[in-house]
Amino acid sequence: MSTVEIKNLRKSFGKLEVLKGIDFTVEAGQVVCVIGPSGSGKSTLLRCVNLLERPTSGRVVLDGTEITDPDVDIDAVRRRLGMVFQQFNLFPHLTVLRNVTIAQERVLRRGRAEAERIARENLERVGLGEKADAFPAQLSGGQQQRVAIARALAMNPSLMLFDEPTSALDPELVGDVLGVMRELAGDGMTMMVVTHEMNFAREVADRVVFMDQGVIVEDGPPDQVIAAPRHARTREFLSRVLHPEG
């Protein structure tokens, strides 16, 4: 389990400032859900935590190590973080089993047999033990996303990052993925989850962070941020997400 501290984080793409000074902390074992309108910088924030994007300024501290230090070994940092993408990003040329073993073997230097044993355990954990020999294209979106979660878990991460993991799924497939994430949270995994699933956030999150236009507008327990938001922007966003028709 890990703690993450983010201090005055800024990120610009050319002239466009996307993150305008973000401060917040995830305690070990906490689940933090990040919500906010499209384009508010949620993905960029998550990607700064595993350094897929280089912050323009500010600091990200993981378990006491400042990972934004240019001398830090990025690959070593990423080994402790699992990332789940909106588009799954499974490796289409490899079987499900190979998707889950390849980084174990190439990065953690585990032997083939051990890697396969761990892969099968994690595929069982996400309910896909029998799909080990399938190729990603033969799976539904929900199954692919669960394989992606198993692939990340097989690396024994101490922090999991989820970027809208259910946004690309048909509605009937969302539940299985959220179920896996719920169990993971129950097992004590530290998680940062960008999501529009308000029920999930309300039930699972220890804290909910509302972002808009590159700043954190509201940060607190779900009863407060979702049920009784203080800021007009949060209220407006929630009413759009919770009652899309009206």
Partner 1 sequence: MTAPGTALAPHRGLSPRERRRIGRGAQYALLVAVVVALACFADWGAIRQSFLNAQVVSDGLPRLFAVALKNTVIFTASGYVVGFALGMLLALMRQSSVAPYRWIAATYIEIFRGVPALVIFLMIGSLPLAFPGFQIPGGVYGQAALGLGLVSAAYMAETFRAGLQAVPKGQMEAARSLGMSHGRAMLSIVVPQAVRVVIPPLTNELVLLFKDSSLVLFLGVTAAQVELAKFGNDQASTFANPTPILASGLTYLLITIPLGYVARRLESRQGGGQ
For binding to ligand ADP (CB under 6 A), which residues are involved? 13, 16, 18, 36, 38-44
Q: Which does 4 bind (CB under 5 to 8 A by kind): partner 1, Mg ion, ligand ADP, none?
A: none
Burial of 160 (0-12, 13-18, 19+ CB in 10 A): buried
Least distance between ligand ADP and beta carbon 162 (Å): 12
Q: What is the largest CA-CA distance in the chain?
A: 56
Nearer to Mg ion, 128 or 237 (CB): 237
Window 130-169: residues binding partner 1 (CB under 8 A): 135, 137, 148, 151-152, 155
Window 7-66: residues binding partner 1 (CB under 8 A): 50, 52
> For residue 58, which phi and psi values (nearest 5 degrees)?
95, 180
Nearer to ligand ADP, 85 or 200 (CB): 85
Residues of this chain that interact with partner 1 (CB under 8 A) are 50, 52, 75-76, 78-79, 81-83, 85, 87, 89-93, 102-103, 106-108, 135, 137, 148, 151-152, 155
